[in-house]
Amino acid sequence: MSTYALIDSWTMTRRELAHWARQPVQALVGLVFPVMLLLMFGYLVGGGRGVAGDYVDYLVPGMLALTMAFGLEGTMLAVTQDLNKGVIDRFRSLPMADGAVLVGRAAADMLQSALGLAVLTGVGHAIGWRTHGGPGAFLAAVGLLLLLRFAMLWIGIHLAMVAGRPEMVQAVQILVWPVGFLSNAFATPDAMPGWLGTAVRWNPMSHTVTAVRDLFGGPGGEPGHIWAAVAWPLALLAVFFPLAVRRFTRLSR
């Protein structure tokens, strides 16, 4: 990416960050919702059927991964609103790099996702979760989680442009829920019916959850899943990133 493209992308990132200051409630809800889920599953519906070891140590890495898959509607709504309000046409009239709007939106989302991870790990420590893999393993786990988010983000951006209207975003966002809940975030596949356990094991998000648990040194981790936790998001990026950029380029003509 050229220097001008980076400058344009940073300008668009600052534009998205300015929206946070004007709409702090939306950003706050995005941070609080995963915390509510963690506390709900940890204390109200927790139990960890089939989990060997402390359930909180099993649950928190799963919730971290689930947070990376959820919460895409903010970015998707921003993309569709820009398209429908003519903002894209205004940017198109400026000497701006193609795709800088999307890159800026993605960068802002990743900053919020990193902040969400920090908040959720803090809450996890407050309720007794501990890591046992060392600083390097911790950073590697965070890297895998952010890689998952980056891949899911570009899927969301592409689907937002396909949907075209803000009112369609909620319908598209519902498609993310099966991916998140049909995973090993809350329970081990060994405790599920055979067909369901097989589907959960093949879920790309389950590979990230298992790899992160292994890096954190908690129950449910298996070292052989790290390569899949890298390969799956990269494969999704290889498909949806160019699709999103191509769709945006055609819409901008």
What's the pLDDT score for residue 178?
Answer: 77
What's the pLDDT score for residue 210?
Answer: 94
What's the pLDDT score for residue 34?
Answer: 73
Tokens of 125: 């420590």
What's the pLDDT score for residue 237?
Answer: 94
What's the pLDDT score for residue 79?
Answer: 79
What's the pLDDT score for residue 228?
Answer: 94
Length of the chain: 253
- One-letter amino acid of 196: L
57 and 74 in contact (C-beta within 8 Å)? no
What's the pLDDT score for residue 154?
Answer: 92
**How far from chain centre, in Å, is Cα 119?**
15
Please list the pLDDT of the chain residue by residue as tens digits (253 residues).
567 567 666 676 776 667 666 666 666 666 676 777 777 666 555 555 567 678 888 889 999 999 898 878 778 888 787 777 777 667 666 666 666 778 888 888 899 899 999 999 999 999 889 898 889 999 999 999 999 999 999 998 888 888 777 767 776 667 777 778 888 888 888 877 888 888 888 888 999 999 999 999 888 888 889 999 999 999 999 999 999 888 887 765 5
What's the pLDDT score for residue 27?
Answer: 63
C-alpha distance from residue 38 to each of 72, 119, 122, 126 (Å): 18, 12, 12, 12
C-alpha distance from residue 160 to each of 83, 152, 172 (Å): 10, 12, 8
